[in-house]
Chain A
Amino acid sequence: MTQIFQLYVFILAGFVGFIVIQRVPPLLHTPLMSATNAISGISLVGAIVAAGGQYGRVSTILGFIAVVCGATNVVAGFLITDRMLAMFKGQLKTPDAGGKKPETSK
């Protein structure tokens, strides 16, 4: 029975994803990919349970590696997404010393 429930969740979430993501403009396709990548780093949650669960040494080691990889995925994914989105935030022309200099030479 639980598996049927899980399938419900999966398919409905897939639909939500489809409808929401279809409206993301091409301008933001790269941040979209890094965002979904960061979000799916949620596997970390499973890794945490595997690493801390005392299922024997091999499981702890594998779990530990999984935590490292998952945490890297999450941290790097969200940070890079934020870095990119910061560039798209304001309509203001960025104040840039290099771009302004020619004006003084007039």
Chain B
Amino acid sequence: MNGLATRDLIIQGSYLAASVLFVLGLRSLTRPTQARLGMQQAAMGMLFAIIGTLLNANILTFQWIIIGLVVGAIVGYPMAMKVPMTAMPQFIAFSHAFGAVAATLVGVVEYRVRSAATGDEGLSHGLAAALGFEVLFGALTITGSFMAFGKLQELITGRPITFKGQNAVNLTLMAVAFGSLAVLIANPANATAFYLILGLALFLGISMVLPIGGGDMPVVISLLNSYAGLAAAATGFAIGNNVLIIAGALEGAGGFILSIIMSKAMNRSFANVIFGAFGAAPSSKGGDKGAAKEPKSISAEDAATQLAYAGSVVIIPGYGMAVAQAQHTCRELDELISKKGGEVKYAIHPVAGRMPGHLNVILSEAGIDYGALLTDVEDANRVLATADVAIVIGANDIVNPDAEDDKSSPLYGMPIFRPWTARTVFVIKRGKGTGFSGVENPLFTRDNTLMLYGDAKGVIGSLIKEIKALDEGH
């Protein structure tokens, strides 16, 4: 008897330690210098929780657990060590899907076991509610994340896929899913309702992510992050485990906060992102406005001369920079300008890239000091106002002045950078097209804007060559 109590105490102790280390780990993320250590401690917490669980008296055989853990480690290790920072959003989507599969399957097992049992071990209404939410959020996250993965990896088109009455279909399915949940809670033995929720949620994950365009991915990924957390928390309710509830609540809160930040940075509501299907609408409108003026272009040689004598340069990268893999060349240019006495800063918009903070990790991986990254739009605009040169690389909507000037623009109200307040603006752009939103950009026709057409990596490479050539001429 005594031995049993000690064992339970050890298990609960390991869970408590894990919960505390998780919270401390997340808190360490408020300071870049402490973050790594804090998260390593959180990983230790996870190890404690796993070891503690292995002491559980209900576990009778260990072979499948051990094989499963080893296979998971073998799959996870190379994935994590090899993935490039540019592919981080896909990777996170994938990882969400894995976690959600685990949560959902635990829910199915628990439902099967509990509905076969009787008395205290049987299904109560509360338990049915927890299991219903678990498979609902879990299944939604599984297919939603796989769809997001497919879009980000460009296995399926990144453009919104829409059909008539799509929102009505989705809303109906959602209503049926919640209806089934209500039935399940009222009558926990109703297995049809349980599996209907599972099936509908799997389908909803697909049909909700399909109409969302690539540029809106930061919101989708954050939302899936939140759902994955809620699925884990519901698992905790179902199996009566507090560490799952705590970890799930932490992730749920994190994903929720990020979704709000991302939506704000695009000046759009959640509902608009989910049901809006941006991009299809107003592209025809801007055309006649822009037609009056042609953008001016500049040669790499002339641009290099200006950069060589610039005192302060602000680089505004967008996802296009990551696509062109130009971040390393960018760092070389940075070093060259710095050596000549100029100061280089980077203005990183909250929604630049395909997930929250995406470009920060891409630039950091390239070896750019994070002290040079301006992640606050207002701060960045203050620096831009006194800069000699602003270089826009593969970004479009986040520097579109229409967001401030044109009330009819779909971007209106979005907080943006003001590169035109710098003395000169260079825009490095692949060709004369619009951004993902299909909106014309009047920045390109401003008086102090000069275009450098071409692949970002190639253009920056030739800028570097020209600046070096200037040196040799002296």
Binding site for B on A (CB under 8 A): 2-3, 6, 9-11, 13-14, 16-18, 20-56, 58-60, 62-89, 91, 93-94, 96, 98-99, 102-103
Contacts and interface: CB of A to CB of B under 8 A. Distances in A.
B357 A32 contact: yes
Contacts, number: 380
Interface residues of B, number: 119
B252 A14 contact: yes
Of B130, B244, B332, most buried by chain A (CB within 10 Å of CB) is B244
A103 B340 CA distance: 12
A69 B102 contact: yes
A43 B103 contact: yes
B169 interface: no
B54 interface: yes
Contact of A13 (B18, B96, B110, B249): B249
B112 A37 contact: no
Contacts of A68: 68, 71-72, 75
Of A6, A25, A43, most buried by chain B (CB within 10 Å of CB) is A43
Nearest to A96: B367
B109 A62 contact: yes
A26 B374 CA distance: 10
A21 B225 CA distance: 14
Contacts of B319: none
9 contacts: A22-B257, A25-B30, A27-B360, A27-B370, A31-B29, A46-B106, A66-B105, A82-B39, A99-B332
B64 A63 contact: yes
B49 interface: yes
Contact of B64 (A21, A43, A60): A60
Nearest to A45: B53
Of A59, A68, A96, most buried by chain B (CB within 10 Å of CB) is A68
A27 B59 contact: no
B369 A35 contact: no
B206 interface: no
B76 A75 contact: yes
Interface in B141-187: none
Contacts of A50: 105-106, 109-110
Contacts of B257: 18, 21-22
Given A39-B25, A43-B99, A28 B35 contact: yes
A74 B258 contact: no
A13 B237 contact: no
A21 B369 CA distance: 23
Contacts of B29: 21, 24, 28, 31-32, 35
B80 A71 contact: no
Interface string B230-265: 011101111111111111111111111110010000
B221 interface: yes
B350 A71 contact: no
B95 A77 contact: yes
B42 interface: yes
A9 B64 contact: no
A40 B247 contact: yes
A78 to B, nearest CB: 4
Nearest to A19: B253
A16 B228 CA distance: 18
A32 B254 contact: yes
B50 to A, nearest CB: 7
Interface string B50-82: 100110101111101101110111011101110
Contacts of B39: 31, 35, 78, 81-82, 85
